[in-house]
Amino acid sequence: DGGITQSPKYLFRKEGQNVTLSCEQNLNHDAMYWYRQDPGQGLRLIYYSQIVNDFQKGDIAEGYSVSREKKESFPLTVTSAQKNPTAFYLCASSIISGTGLYEQYFGPGTRLTVT
């Protein structure tokens, strides 16, 4: 099956701990994205990467870190510096087109609860 997977589906952590969310895709997409979604809110971009070993900050990157060592993997670390980490995290991937004509494929999401 081709697709994008995120694990785990639910994650619980104590305040002050770093936690890493997994995102893997086998669609051979160049670009990958991490979004945060809060209740009743839209998606806010945390980080994105268009090529291996390169990534850019999105709108709310503070308190988060990423790596892109392999094309198919884009893990997100939620650090203790993130003041309000409890949220639903979505990973997505897409092809890169110079004309901007692309759709994003989303994973099922990870719901992180920090207490």
Partner 1 sequence: SQQGEEDPQALSIQEGENATMNCSYKTSINNLQWYRQNSGRGLVHLILIRSNEREKHSGRLRVTLDTSKKSSSLLITASRAADTASYFCATDARRGSTLGRLYFGRGTQLTVWP
- Residue among 92, 93, 112, 114 that touches partner 1 (CB under 8 A): 92
Nearer to partner 1, 35 or 64 (CB): 35
The reply on whether position 107 binds partner 1 by CB under 8 A is yes
Q: Which of 75, 96, 90 is nearest to 30 (CA)?
A: 96
Residues ≥6 apart with Cβ < 8 Å to 42: none
Q: Which stretch binds partner 1 (CB under 8 A): 20-28, 43-51, 64-72, 78-86?
A: 43-51
Q: What is the enclosing helix (H) or strand (E) of 3?
A: none
Q: Which stretch binds partner 1 (CB under 8 A): 16-24, 33-41, 62-70, 73-81?
A: 33-41
Ranges of H-type helices in 1-115? none
- Count of residues interacting with partner 1 (CB under 8 A): 30
**Touching partner 1, residues 55-74 (CB under 8 A):** 58
Residues ≥6 apart with Cβ < 8 Å to 114: 12, 13, 14, 15, 17, 19, 78, 85, 86
The reply on whether position 48 binds partner 1 by CB under 8 A is yes
Contact residues for partner 1 (CB under 8 A)? Answer: 6, 31, 33, 35, 40-45, 48, 50, 58, 88, 90, 92, 94, 96, 98-101, 103-109, 111
